[in-house]
Structure 1
Amino acid sequence: MLTKFLVDEAQLTDLVAPVGRLSSAEPLSGGMFATAYRLHFDDGRSAVAKIVGADTSRFLTYERGLLGTEALTYRMLEDSGVPVPRVLHTDFTRELLDADLVVAEHLPGVPWFGHELDEAQTAVVRHNLGAVMAGLHRVEAPSFGYPAADAGLSAGTWRDAFVLMIEAVLADAERWQVALPAERVRAAVAAHCGALDPVTRAAVVHTDLWEGNVFIDPETLDIVGIIDTERTLWGDPLHELVGADQFGTGEPNVDLLSGNTAAGGVLARELASPTGFTRLQLSRLYFSLVLTIEPTMRGYEGEWAVGYENGARSNLDLALVRLEATPTAS
């Protein structure tokens, strides 16, 4: 079972000393892999510390170097208008602790997840999230794939990076003895990877913009922060739609798309392009592979874990069926 890294008060005080004198700290719940604390300093500032132990044996290949990616992404987005916290301190030396550390500003607002909204209010937030995505995707990245060198999943084209990502997740499944239709997956990717070639500009793609990673102003419903950028990749903006709705199989949300278009985003246009449907299904294929492996690799237990894996397998099969029924571009 995946366990979080344990940190005592003295260790935490030493770790965050470059930011200031710690007056108190409280653990934050949520998240599967990181230990997180809300920090309060003597000068009145608040921040959030995220700590990930050096043991990555229960991580997928793409998750190697997660916290480095989180800090890098926050810094890349600092002047973009996307509401991300400012990085206050990082420590990847593992001199004080056998773990990595990122300390970032504490965001205002409340998490969208768990905040009760009616249908109309939810539509407003989704519209606003589409606008945030537009801001994200305007930031250009220097290559394609996952930025962390430890992952080894970057390339000069989106097609090459995506194939690396697929092969890595299939290798992870083999390592953890998770049965997958690997040959069907490889055949579908080989048949349709040409659809990825129109993606010639690498956008910053958060990949995990579910409600828990989005902070809103409860009065105005403006999005005042997005967090947990550790799984960010550089590539196709359409990948964002799947990351924000990882078990979804239907049409992307219309309010999100309208908000994206109104803010100058490209999602609706790219979806309507000749390769849009195929690219969306390839991204859904990738996410379904990841979600299918996670319960075994992480050591999830209980009926919910069975339902989680079954849902992922059902979506994996659906993505394959759709790709297999889609004519290959000439």
Structure 2
Amino acid sequence: MTTTPTDVSVPLDALRAVVAPVGRATSAERLTGGLFAMTYRVHLDDGRRVVVKTAPTGTDRLLSHEHDLLRAEALVYELAHPRGIAVPRVLLTDWSRTHLPGDAVVVTHLDGVPLDGADLEGDAATTARRGVGAAMAQLHAIERAPFGYPDKPELGGATWREAFGRMVEALLADAGRWGVALPADEIRRELVRHGAALDDVTRPSLVHTDLWPGNVFVDPVSGRLTGVIDPERAIFGDPLVDVVGCDPFGRSQDDATLLGGYAEAAGAQLDVTSPSACARLALYRLWLAIVMSVERVPRDYQGDWVAGYDAEVDRMRAVALAEIRS
């Protein structure tokens, strides 16, 4: 994958200046695979490795919920790491934009490899999937009011129905801004029709929203989960959002392995079958499909993978709409 054409490499001297309070940088390489921020593995002269992540500076090409995302990522790590959850530890944050043009977060380097490239089979694959479910449960045990995106009152609310409605409305406004045709009135009607199901969510749980295999690190032999990354789009809301986000093109609520890992860590089964849960899952699949439909325009994705990605997103949105209608 490639990032947007506006992204440029960060000079080593700038990375040295950012990480100076942590240690002296000797070399760095850019980590690929992300579609939003720029991330670097930085080697220090004492043998340690740290990760520097910096946000894009072209804010005119960001969606409404994408402003100040690295501050949300740092918040999640700071909430989760002291609880023993497998996330990087924040070493420093730099919101000054003195050395880099955007916000920057420096965190510890995770062991392992991304799950999407681990090529696991058998017991190792089962271990990895159960680990994802367990990590989800651990994150969901953290609560913080209000509902919605952290520190964004315009994208939050006192109730989940209110917060989710504002999140959807912001996306619909972004779609209009970028010329993405969506059945906005129908989407609003479905939100109203399923409002009672949204009201069933009364606890603002920490939800990663993007636990796809590229954001999960595992031991390449055993499949043991070594950490999760990129919680920059985290929200406080319904845990079922993560069931959709961890497998955006599939149907994770039917994944007995993942749900088994979740139940073991949480001490209770996650409801994915009640009428309320099914309605909310359908809404979240539609929401994620809208996110992916809209964001691809301002990001101007490039590469051979784009045509297949676009087709899959269109299919995902059509399926989600059909499901929510029924």
Indicate the TM-score class for this superposition, using the shorter chain for normalisation: over 0.9
Q: Are 2:281 and 1:297 aligned? A: no
CA positional deviation for 1:81: 2.3
CA positional deviation for 1:99: 0.9
Tell me which residue corresponds to 2:280: 279
Matches of 2:64 and 2:98 in 1, distance apart?
A: 24
Task: Give yes or no for contact 2:216–2:225 (8 Å, CA) kept in 1.
Answer: yes
CA positional deviation for 1:218: 2.7
Task: Give yes or no for contact 2:253–2:272 (8 Å, CA) kept in 1.
Answer: no
CA positional deviation for 1:167: 0.4
Tell me which residue corresponds to 2:90: 87
TM-score by length of 1: 0.92
One-letter code of the match for 2:261? G
Q: Are 2:62 and 1:98 aligned? A: no
CA positional deviation for 1:215: 1.0
Task: Pick one of 156, 160, 163 that aligns with 2:162.
Answer: 160
One-letter code of the match for 1:75? E
**Alignment CA distance shift 1:271-1:155 (3 Å):** same
Q: Comparing 156-165 with 10-19, which one deviates more in the overlay?
A: 10-19
Higher helix share: 2
Tell me which residue corresponds to 1:224: 226
1:133-183 deviation per Cα after TM superposition (whole angstroms, max 9, x unaligned): 11111111221111143x831111111110001101111010000111111
Task: Pick one of 42, 49, 53 that aligns with 1:50.
Answer: 53
SS at match of 1:23: strand
Aligned length: 323
1:176-187 alignment, distance < 5 Å: 176-187=178-189
One-letter code of the match for 2:245? G
Matches of 1:239 and 1:40 in 2, distance apart?
A: 36
1:53-202 alignment, distance < 5 Å: 53-149=56-152, 152-202=154-204
Matches of 2:25 and 2:41 in 1, distance apart?
A: 11
**5+ unaligned residues in a row in structure 1: which ranges?**
326-330
**Alignment CA distance shift 1:144-1:179 (3 Å):** same
Task: Give yes or no for contact 2:143–2:203 (8 Å, CA) kept in 1.
Answer: yes
One-letter code of the match for 2:324? L
Task: Give yes or no for contact 1:80–1:136 (8 Å, CA) kept in 2.
Answer: no
Matches of 2:199 and 2:100 in 1, distance apart?
A: 43
**5+ unaligned residues in a row in structure 2: which ranges?**
none
Task: Give yes or no for contact 1:112–1:216 (8 Å, CA) kept in 2.
Answer: yes
Tell me which residue corresponds to 2:241: 239
Q: Comparing 169-178 with 292-301, which one deviates more in the overlay?
A: 292-301
One-letter code of the match for 1:163? G
Tell me which residue corresponds to 2:255: 253
Task: Give yes or no for contact 1:27–1:38 (8 Å, CA) kept in 2.
Answer: yes
One-letter code of the match for 2:266? G
CA positional deviation for 1:27: 1.7
- Note the aligned Cα RMSD (angstroms): 1.8
CA positional deviation for 1:91: 0.6
Q: Comparing 12-21 with 304-313, which one deviates more in the overlay?
A: 304-313
One-letter code of the match for 2:257? D
Q: Comparing 117-126 with 303-312, which one deviates more in the overlay?
A: 303-312
**Alignment CA distance shift 1:76-1:193 (3 Å):** same
CA positional deviation for 1:105: 0.2
SS at match of 1:312: helix
Residue identity (%)? 45
Task: Pick one of 34, 39, 49 that aligns with 1:36.
Answer: 39
**Alignment CA distance shift 1:250-1:260 (3 Å):** closer
SS at match of 1:54: coil
CA positional deviation for 1:252: 3.1
**Alignment CA distance shift 1:178-1:45 (3 Å):** same
1:237-271 deviation per Cα after TM superposition (whole angstroms, max 9, x unaligned): 000011101122474311101111122255x4421
TM-score by length of 2: 0.93
Q: Comparing 73-82 with 50-59, which one deviates more in the overlay?
A: 50-59
One-letter code of the match for 1:300? Y
Matches of 2:254 and 2:267 in 1, distance apart?
A: 14
CA positional deviation for 1:53: 3.0
Task: Give yes or no for contact 1:145–1:155 (8 Å, CA) kept in 2.
Answer: yes
Q: Comparing 26-35 with 229-238, which one deviates more in the overlay?
A: 26-35
Matches of 2:289 and 2:201 in 1, distance apart?
A: 22
